[in-house]
Amino acid sequence: YSYGITAALLAGGATVSLITGQPAGAQVAQNDAQNISRVVPRAGAPESFADLTQQLQPAVVNISTRQRITVETNPFAGSPFADLFGGQGQPTTREAQSLGSGFIISADGYVVTNNHVITPDGRAELEEVTVTMPDGTEYTAEVVGKDAESDLAVLKIERDEPFPFVRFGDSSQARVGDWVIAIGNPFGLGGTVTSGIVSAVLRRAGAGAYDRYIQTDASINRGNSGGPLFDMQGNVIGINNAIFSPSGGSVGIGFAIPAEIAAPLVQKLISGEEILRGYLGVQIQPMNEDLASALGLPANRGEFIQSVVPGEAAEQAGLQAGDVVVKVNGEDVTPEQTLSFIVANIEPGKRVPVEIVRNGDRRTLQVNVGRRPSAEQLAAQQFNTEEEDGQSSPPSPSGDNASVVGALGLQAIPLNVQIARQLGMPDSTQGLVITAVDPNSDAARKGLSRGTIVLSANGRDVKQISDLEAVIRSAQSEGRGAVLLRVRSRGGPAISVPVRLR
């Protein structure tokens, strides 16, 4: 999932400033005033946010942390000479600090913020968290709980008198165009208020089980992370979290964790309850036009399974690479309602129906949902692949034996044992090996190259060039603009790639 601009998580949050101007059509004749009234905002657009800010700002706090990081000063660290010269540079420690925002949600001092605000460097030891009130009063905070997956953390501060606090609202009622304000600590400038509107709801901004945000144009900058996004009733409908920015500064595209996601998790952190998430154990790819065309399915519905983790819930239930998951537990899989999000919110151990499309046929499998591993375990998890055997490079085209598949813009030959061994594949591997690719073809743009093995096309094994040509003719007769190839490169897993026909 890539973007032309950088998605930057800020150690202080995200907010968007509102730039106002004349309403469209303002410079018109007076007798057109009646028509203008149809597009000018009706009563309800605030003339000022001052009263609301005055009520809310006392509960919004600044958060600073102090961490101690061990630094290796041995110049030979990591080399064969490290032990010989270890005495010349012993490990030392240095102090690191971060600044962010947060908000108090109860009179007894529970504070909500982002996990990345209090753990900007996951390798460092957290020594102290300080919460600073708007009047400058500082409190040393206890970390009650944190959750890296949702990027949420809860702190606790203490004093004899009650703290001012704010409440979570219902973010599911937020609509595009609603006014919002954000209060936070951008660049260490405490108590900064910005305003804007809801730019989008259920916005995807990256990856993961909770990739579902409220987008706003209220200014969000470094230091705003963990701060609240308020609706016009003074309820917290989001927790400012990230921005899109080519430079690191606000460009009017900020993201907040919706309250409907955050509030239940915050309560679990406060109660000490373990946060469990559902897991299937699949590597997935969102549907796009090429995939949809190759499979003959509607675009923007379902997600494609590239591979299945051995031994996990999906494999046990019979899910396979090449399946398209269209519905889980009665909920449609869409770009806004992703497979990861739906499954993560299902209790591990629960048996649910999963509707799939396999080779054009719809079927429903019953899946006992597994438990989602930690973010660290997921990052380390690898799918089964064969090791390279260090043999020579892939074969070159060999005259008449290299057949041209014109509709895909490539040349290929049947795979045999000798070629399979050269490519580091098991002797039993069957398929076609690509010997040349037209650099102007979609196959080249999709990363297919000399030495790539084509295992199947549109779910059918291809052992001879005629097998692949038959699949292409069938796709053309059905009006499909692409063919889904199951391919594998040296040392890598098998993946499915939709290639457009020429």
Integer Cα distance of 409 and 396 in angstroms: 16
What's the Cα-to-Cα distance from 39 to each of 19, 59, 363, rounded to whole Å?
18, 36, 49
Q: For residue 207, what pLDDT is reported?
A: 59
Q: For residue 325, what pLDDT is reported?
A: 96
What residue ranges of the chain have pLDDT lower than 70? Answer: 1-45, 69-96, 120-125, 206-208, 246-248, 375-404, 491
Q: For residue 426, what pLDDT is reported?
A: 85
Tokens 């809801």 correspond to what residue? 198
Integer Cα distance of 332 and 349 in angstroms: 21
Closest Cα to residue 280, out of 344, 356, 363, 375? 344
Q: Which residues are catalytic?
A: 116, 151, 225
Q: For residue 259, what pLDDT is reported?
A: 96
- Residue-averaged pLDDT of the chain: 80
Q: For residue 252, what pLDDT is reported?
A: 85
SS3 of 436, please?
strand
Q: For residue 406, what pLDDT is reported?
A: 76
Q: How far is CA 276 from the centre of its chain?
A: 19
**Taking the model in full, what pTM does it have?**
0.68
